């Protein structure tokens, strides 16, 4: 049972339903992030954030198309998972953006450019990191389940 | 100086320009004056993807909704300031 009284159920969306317009605003943000990033990359970021925040119990809800072994490995230690160089650059940025955001420097963003991303793509990735942090932290403090990513 | 390119007020066209103008108009007069009638850099970063900018503005209104929490602006700003400090964020 959620720590917060929800309109119904025990899901993140139920909390948003309590505030007029919140569910729609969240859905629009989610949709726009997803149009600028692949499902695999979106899920890799989500699983990494869940692992870094110690929220392994929520990995299943954000892993999307990732198989259980890969998701578990990424959540535990993404740097040892079988990932492309581009994915590793994104997850390195994800780690800094989640645990030590004040330490992000130009060279961290340049590493993404060197991995082949343009600035609009980097903006979307940074927004996906922030969004996953928001959803997963809110889910943890309210003890609700985030929106389940379809595989 | 931001780590990625921003779209300035004078460069903005179409949807980006419309959202910039609307965002500027919605700033409190004291904030607009302090900023010299210029948008906060965080808004101009999103100018690279106008649809994402629009969603972000809607997200602020629909989720964060400053001034509507019942906590009062002072407490809202105290929370925001504390989160910024914990995040080592200069804003």
List the domain range (segments joined by +) for residue B39.
14-86
A33-55 pLDDT, tens digit each:
999 999 999 999 999 999 999 99
Number of domains in chain B: 1
* pLDDT confidence band for A151 (50 / 70 / 90): low
Q: Report yes or no on B50 lying in a domain.
A: yes
Average pLDDT of span B45-61: 90
Tokens linked to A123: 């903006």
B5-51 pLDDT, tens digit each:
999 999 999 989 999 998 888 888 888 888 888 898 888 999 999 99
A98-118 pLDDT, tens digit each:
999 888 999 999 999 999 999
**Å between B14 CA and nearest CA of chain A:** 17
Rounded CA-CA distance B6/B8 in Å is: 6
Task: Report percent pLDDT > 90 for chain A.
Answer: 73
Do B3 and A19 lie within an 8 Å CB cutoff? no
Residue A11: strand pairing partners? A145
Contacts of A35 in chain B (CB under 8 A): 51
Average pLDDT of span A7-15: 73
In contact, A44 and A87? CB cutoff 8 Å: yes
pLDDT at A1 over 60: no
A82 touches chain B (CB under 8 A): no
In contact, B73 and B66? CB cutoff 8 Å: yes
The 3 state secondary structure assigned to chain B is CCCCCCCCCCCCCHHHHHHHHHHHHHCCHHHHHHCCCCCCHHHHHHHHCHHHHHHHHHHHHHHHCCCCCCCCHHHHHHHHHHHHHHCCCCC
Say which of B48, B54, B88 has its CB closest to residue A123: B48
Rounded CA-CA distance A151/A71 in Å is: 12
Task: Kindly list the structural domains of chain A, giving each domain's residue range(s) and its CATH number in brackets, ordered by start.
Answer: 12-142 (1.20.1290.10)
């Amino acid at each position: 049972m959620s720590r917060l009284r929800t309109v119904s159920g025990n899901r993140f969306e139920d909390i948003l339903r309590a505030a007029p317009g919140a569910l729609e605003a969240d859905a629009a943000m989610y949709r726009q992030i997803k149009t600028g990033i692949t499902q695999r990359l979106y899920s890799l970021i989500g699983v990494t954030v869940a692992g870094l925040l110690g929220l392994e119990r929520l990995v299943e809800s954000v892993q999307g198309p990732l198989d259980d072994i890969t998701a578990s490995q990424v959540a535990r230690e993404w740097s040892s998972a079988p990932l492309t160089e581009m994915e590793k650059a994104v997850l390195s940025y994800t780690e800094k953006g989640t645990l030590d955001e004040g330490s992000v420097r130009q060279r961290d963003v340049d590493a993404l450019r060197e991995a082949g991303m343009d600035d609009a793509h980097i903006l979307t990735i940074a927004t996906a990191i922030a969004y996953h942090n928001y959803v997963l932290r809110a889910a943890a403090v309210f003890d609700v389940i985030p929106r389940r990513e379809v595989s | 100086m931001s780590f990625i390119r921003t779209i300035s007020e004078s460069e903005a066209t179409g949807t980006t320009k419309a959202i910039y103008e609307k965002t500027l108009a919605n700033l409190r007069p004291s904030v607009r004056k302090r900023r010299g009638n210029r948008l906060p850099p965080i808004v101009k970063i999103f100018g690279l993807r106008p649809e994402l900018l629009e969603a972000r503005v809607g997200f602020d209104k629909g989720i964060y909704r400053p001034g509507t929490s019942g906590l009062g602006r002072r407490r809202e700003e105290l929370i925001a300031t504390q989160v910024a400090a914990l995040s080592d964020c200069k804003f």
